[in-house]
Amino acid sequence: MSQLNCTVTHQQWQLAKEFRISRGVKTQADVVVVTLSDGQHTGWAEAVPYARYGETVESVMRQITNLVPQLTNTTTGQHLLSLLPAGAARNALDCALWDLTAKQRQLPVTQLVGITTSMPQLTAQLMPQITAQTLSLDTVDKMASEAASLSKQPLIKIKLDRELVLERMTAIALAAPNSRFIIDANEAWDFDLLKQLLPQLKPLNVALIEQPLPSADDHQLAGFEPEIPLCADESCHTSDDLPRLLGLYQAINIKLDKTGGLTEALQLLSAAQQHDFIIMTGCMVGTSLAMAPAFLIAQSAAFVDLDGPLLLATDRQHAFDFEQGEMQLLPSELWGGVSNSHNQELLQLGMMTDEG
C-alpha cells in the first residue's frame, strides 16, 4: 500500500468582464487544482473555494495538504466521504481520484460510473446539453442589451438582487423573447417579495427561480405552492439535506463544490430522483476542468448551468465547445479519459501563483 503523490496549486483565471451577483463583484476566478499520481498514472481536478461557505483558497489548500499522508493506492471516493466534509477540498481530491482511477484501470470515467453505481444508464451514452448562459447583475438597460446579444440562446440565467426585479425581467424578456430564463437571487429576496413577484414573472418565460430566500428562511416555504418551481442552491449541499427540503423546494441544484465531489453528487442525484425533485446542475466560475465531472450529472438534469468557462477570458487546452447554447461532449483528453495527455499542459501553465 503506497502513498499517492499529491500537488496542490492555486491558479487565477481572469474573467472576460466583471461578474456581478447580489453578494458582490468578481474579476477573476481563483481555483485550486489537485494532481494525484501513483508514479505511473496521474489524475487531476479543479475546485473553487467559496466564501459563502466559509472557504478560502488557503483553507482549502490546507485541508488537502493535511490529508495527503492518508492518501494511498487504496483510497476511494467513498473513503473521502468520511475523511473530509463536503466542500471544495473534497471535490478536488474526489474528482482527481476518479481521473486517476480511469488511467489506472484504462477505463474512462463514464464506464467507471456505470460499473460502480446503481445508475449505469447515467453515462451509457453521453449527449450534448443545452446550458444556461449567465447574465450578471447590472442596470436595466445594460442587462437588456446583454440579453439581446444572447437572444438566440435557448436558456439564460439572470442574476438579480431585490431591486427593480420586474423592470429588469420585463426588459430582458423583450430583448430575448424566444429564450427561457432561470432567475438566481442568491438569497436576496424575502417571502413577501417572492409571493408578490411570482404571478408577474410567470408570463415572462421564467422557468425556474434559484434560492430566492436566505437558506435560514427555508421554513417559510412550507406548504407554499409557487407558480414557478423553486430551486434549492445554497440550501442543498449533500443528500443529507434532502429530507429537510421536501415540501419546501421543487428542484435542487447539484454543484460539485457543494457536494464535495462526483461521488456524493451521484448519491445526491439518485436520492433526489427518488423524491421526484427537478434536477439542476450548476457550477462556480471555473475552467472546463471543473465542468468535466459535472457534465456527467448534466446527463440527468432538466436544467444545466455549466457556462463557467464562457465567463473567462481564456480556458484550458482541450476545453468544452459551446455551440449556440449547447455544451458539446466531454473532451477525454481533459479529464476522465484513459491517457495522461493533460500533464504537459499542467506543467506549462504560466499562471500558477501558489503551490503546496
User: Could you report the per-residue pLDDT of 254-277, keeping only the tens digit for each?
Assistant: 999 999 999 999 999 999 999 999
Burial class (CB in 10 A: 0-12, 13-18, 19+), 152: exposed
For residues 92 and 142, state if they share a domain: no
pLDDT score of 21: 80
Question: Are both 93 and 230 inside the same structural domain?
Answer: no
Let me know if residue 144 belongs to a domain. yes
Co-location of 229 and 276 in the same domain:
yes
At residue 353, the pLDDT reads: 33
Same domain, 53 and 131: no
Average pLDDT estimate for 48-66 = 96
- Higher pLDDT pick, 333 / 20: 333
Decide: 47 and 257 in contact? Cβ < 8 Å. yes
CATH code (residue 184)? 3.20.20.120
Tell whether 235 and 166 lie within a shared domain: yes
Assess whether 147 and 191 both reside in one domain. yes
Does residue 217 fall inside a structural domain? yes
User: Does residue 236 fall inside a structural domain?
Assistant: yes
Confidence of residue 185 (pLDDT cuts 50, 70, 90): very high
Same domain, 93 and 190: no
Q: Which domain holds residue 58?
A: 5-106+339-355
On the question of pLDDT at 346 being above 80, the answer is no
Output 23 or 188, whichever has higher pLDDT. Answer: 188
Q: Is the model's pLDDT at 37 over the cut of 70?
A: yes
Confidence at 119, pLDDT banded by 50, 70, 90:
low
CATH code: domain of residue 37: 3.30.390.10
Domain count, the chain: 2
Higher pLDDT, 124 or 95: 95
Same domain, 53 and 151: no
Q: Please give the share of the chain, as a percent, with pLDDT higher than 70.
A: 93
Q: What is the reported pLDDT for 146?
A: 96
pLDDT digits (tens, 9 = 90+) for 304-321: 999 999 999 999 999 999
Say whether both 65 and 156 belong to one domain. Answer: no
Tell me, yes or no, whether 111 lies in a domain: no
Across the range 159-187, mean pLDDT stands at 97
Indicate the average pLDDT of the chain.
Answer: 92
Return the pLDDT at 123.
60
Per the listing, cell 494532481 goes with 35
Strands 206-210 and 129-130, by their bridges, are: unpaired
Distance set, CA 15 to CA 286, 304, 323 (Å): 10, 21, 20
Question: By the 8 A CB rule, do 152 and 325 touch?
Answer: yes
Q: How far apart are CA 139 and CA 222, in angstroms?
A: 33
Same domain, 77 and 183: no
Residue 88: inside a domain: yes
Q: Is the pLDDT of residue 242 over 50?
A: yes
Specify whether 90 is located in the same domain as 133: no
What pLDDT score does 352 carry? 35
The mean-pLDDT minimum among 28-37, 72-81, 176-185, 333-342 falls in 333-342
